[in-house]
Amino acid sequence: MEILVCVKRVPDTAENEIEVAGDGSDIERDDLVYSVNEWDNYAVEEAIQIVDKVGGSVTVISVGDEEAEEVVRREMAMGANHGILLSDDAFEGSDGKGIATLLKAAVDKGNYDLILTGALADDGAGQIGGMLAAMLDVPYASVVNSIETLDDKKLKVGREIEGGNQEMSEIDLPCVLSIQTGINEPRYVGIRGIRKVASVEIPVWGAADLGLAADSMGAAGARVKRLDYFLPELGEGAEILEGSMEEVAEKLIDLLKAKGGIK
C-alpha cells in the first residue's frame, strides 16, 4: 500500500507556555520549542505499521518553510521511506482550504492508496483531512483510532465517538483518514536514526511545481483570515491560594473538608 502522511511543524505545547506577543499580531515565538504535531506522529507510526504488514511505502509531506524540513526528516528517521516539502513564499497566509489545495495538487502527482493526517493540530480546526478528501472525491473518516486492512480495496476503521464508544465502518480505498492520538505507541526516534537520514535529499515543490494559480493559495486565496491573538477572558476565575507550600496545603484541606472532599 502506498501511503501519504501529512504532517505539520508546531510549537510543542507540552514544552511551552503559549503567550501572546505585545501587539497581539502573533504569539511569542522566540523561545518556543517546535516539534511534529502530536496527532501527525501517531499517523506516521500507523502508516509504518500498515506497510510493515502489507508492504508498500510511506511518504511524509509537509507545508512550511525550510524549518519544516526537520520534521519531515524526523518522521523519515522513524521509518517513513520518502519525504516531500511544499514550500514557496506564495503559500504564506493560506487558510485551511489553501493548505488542502496544495496537498491535493501534491497528491495528484503521486499514486496513493491511503492518505493520513492528524485529527487536530495547533490551531484546533481539524479541517485538512476532510477538505482534502472532498477535493479528491474519495471517502473520509475522522478521529480514527483503529485501522485493519481487509484487502487491497478496503479497510475496516474505528472512529472515536462520544462516551468512549467506537464507531466501526468499512471504507473503500483510496481514502483519507484523520488519526486520533492513542491509536498506537509511536516509536522512539534516537539520534542514530536521525543521522541515518541526515543526508537524504528531500524534494521541495513550489507553486510552479504544483501548477497552481496564484489566487487559489496564500493570503490572496484565503477567505478565513486570523486577525489577532488575545488571552481568553478570565471570567470569575479561580481563587488562587497564596503562601508557602505548607500553608497552601492547609488552606486547601480546610476548603476540601468543607466541601466533602475528604472523607
> Is 161 near other proteins (CB under 8 A)?
yes
Backbone phi and psi for residue 142, each to the nearest 5 degrees, phi listed first = -105, 170
The nearest distance, CB 86 to other proteins, in angstroms, is 19
Out of 56, 130, 193, 206, point to the residue binding other proteins (CB under 8 A).
130
> Is 148 near other proteins (CB under 8 A)?
no
* Set of cell numbers at residue 238: 479561580
Out of 45, 59, 142, 179, point to the residue binding other proteins (CB under 8 A).
142
The nearest distance, CB 29 to other proteins, in angstroms, is 12
Q: For other proteins, which stretch binds (CB under 8 A), given 64-72, 108-116, 200-208, 229-237?
A: 229-237
What does the buried/exposed string (b/e) look like for 63-74 if buried means 16 or more CB atoms within 10 Å of the residue's CB?
A: bbeeebbebbbb
- Which x/- pattern over 78-97 shows residues binding other proteins (rule: CB under 8 A)? -----------------xxx
- Is cis: bond before 139, omega within 30 of 0? no
Nearer to other proteins, 59 or 142 (CB): 142
Candidates 142, 141, 138, 146; CA nearest to 173 is 138
Longest dimension (CA), the chain: 68
> Is 33 near other proteins (CB under 8 A)?
no
> Is 56 near other proteins (CB under 8 A)?
no
Nearer to other proteins, 100 or 147 (CB): 100
> Is 18 near other proteins (CB under 8 A)?
yes
C-alpha torsion angle, residues 240, 245, 249, 252 (rounded to 10): -10
> Is 191 near other proteins (CB under 8 A)?
no
> Is 237 near other proteins (CB under 8 A)?
yes
Q: Are 140 and 175 in contact (CB under 8 A)?
A: yes
Out of 30, 111, 191, 231, point to the residue binding other proteins (CB under 8 A).
231
Q: Three-state SS for 146?
A: strand
Out of 175, 179, 210, 217, point to the residue binding other proteins (CB under 8 A).
175
CA triple 154-156-161, angle to 5 deg: 135
